[in-house]
Amino acid sequence: MRIAVMGSGGIGGYIGLRLAKAGEDVTFIARGEHLYAMRSNGLRLESPLGDVSLPNVNATDDPAEAGTVDLVIFAVKLYDSEEAAAAILPMVGPKTTVLTLQNGVDGVDLLARSVPRSQVVAGAIYISTYLEAPGLIRQTSGMTQMTVGGRNDPAIAAFRDACALAEGISLQAVDDVDPVLWMKFVTLAAFSGGTSLMRSGIGAIIADPEGRIFMEQLRDEGMAIAAAKGHPMPDGYVQQTTSLWQMVPPETQSSMANDLQRGKRLELEWLSGRMHSFGKELEVPTPAHTAVYRALHLYADGAPAR
């Protein structure tokens, strides 16, 4: 199959590299210094699962150069969604599937403004990766769990088979991915909000009594919002999140925390900000998420001028 990766940073770059290493036809859509580095020196991954180097990759900043593909992996930051969705149109034919692996629960609606909704499939991925430098992706834990919808979609079936042959990708395809998306949204909003606001790895936060209480409050508020939206968390979810926080390396932070430290734009509006707006809409109190949203709002568009 022909695959294009729109957004070749931590998530998209990781998946694309793994698939290309396994022999799949992958085109990376990137820009700036990252694109230059990939064209000059390829793409590298430093990972607890083993380092990978791909000296030659097909990378461009013009989606039209890729032509029509079978699958677009859409992994751009949420604040770039509308511009990126319009940009992928030269790659989308009548049989192309667009798989959004974005955070939050708004990805499909954002894409459907440009691409027929019937061709959009959503997925959730649990992986800790980020773009450390142009051409270099760093993975900080060995977790690579991905769940996508569209189990009966031919492109998703082919994607599943490709992932099975690649190293470092664990993929499950399901009929209804919404419960998975909401579970990740609740989990990630808490994790992103807590590690960003407290500027620490999850281990130190959980070890601190007040930090742990704040994380639990963020989680519980998200559970209340999800239930009010008709997506209650399953039995055992509280223990599952507690185990997750304890299982990952203690220094692990969210991608939003990494972006905050680097002075980049934040996905705040679609995580704690979305919890805040849902809370107002549904009349469900969200004091912890509202605190995160308001405290970090100054940095939402990147580091403010001093």
Residues 181-214 have pLDDT tens digits of 999 999 999 999 999 999 999 999 999 999 999 9
Strands 129-133 and 136-139: antiparallel
pLDDT given at position 14: 96
pLDDT surpassing 90 at residue 247 = no
Structure tokens at 185: 């949204």
pLDDT given at position 130: 87
Structure tokens at 16: 């694309």
- What DSSP string runs through 123-191? EEEE--EEEEETTEEEE-SS--EEEES-TT-HHHHHHHHHHHHSSS-EEEE-S--HHHHHHHHHHHHHH
pLDDT surpassing 70 at residue 27 = yes
pTM, whole model, 2 decimals?
Answer: 0.92
| Range in 1-15, 247-261, 274-288 with the lowest mean pLDDT | 247-261
Spatial CB neighbours of 214, under 8 Å, sequence gap ≥ 6: 194, 198, 205, 288
> Percent of the chain having pLDDT more than 70?
99
End-to-end CA distance of the chain: 49
Instruction: Find out whether 57 and 28 touch, Cβ atoms under 8 Å.
Output: yes
Instruction: Find out whether 92 and 63 touch, Cβ atoms under 8 Å.
Output: no
pLDDT surpassing 90 at residue 304 = no
pLDDT tier for residue 244 given thresholds of 50, 70 and 90: confident
Instruction: Find out whether 285 and 228 touch, Cβ atoms under 8 Å.
Output: no
pLDDT given at position 179: 96
Q: What is the DSSP letter of 304?
A: P
> Any idea how long the chain is?
306
pLDDT given at position 305: 65
pLDDT given at position 163: 95
Q: Cα(11)–Cα(232) distance, rounded to whole angstroms?
A: 27
pLDDT surpassing 90 at residue 255 = no
- What DSSP string runs through 209-265? HHHHHHHHHHHHHHHHHHHHTT-PPPTTHHHHHHHHHHHS-TT---HHHHHHHTT--
Average pLDDT, the chain: 95
pLDDT given at position 90: 97
pLDDT surpassing 80 at residue 306 = no
pLDDT surpassing 70 at residue 92 = yes
pLDDT given at position 32: 95
pLDDT tier for residue 140 given thresholds of 50, 70 and 90: confident
- What is the identity of the amino acid at 34? H
Q: Cα(255)–Cα(109) distance, rounded to whole angstroms?
A: 23
pLDDT surpassing 90 at residue 136 = yes
Residue 125: burial class (beta carbons within 10 Å; 0-12, 13-18, 19+): buried
Spatial CB neighbours of 81, under 8 Å, sequence gap ≥ 6: 102, 107, 110, 111
Structure tokens at 264: 């980049």
The predicted model gives 273-282 an average pLDDT of 98
Output phi, psi for 141, to 5 deg.
Answer: -145, 165
Q: Cα(88)–Cα(102) distance, rounded to whole angstroms?
A: 15
pLDDT surpassing 80 at residue 57 = yes
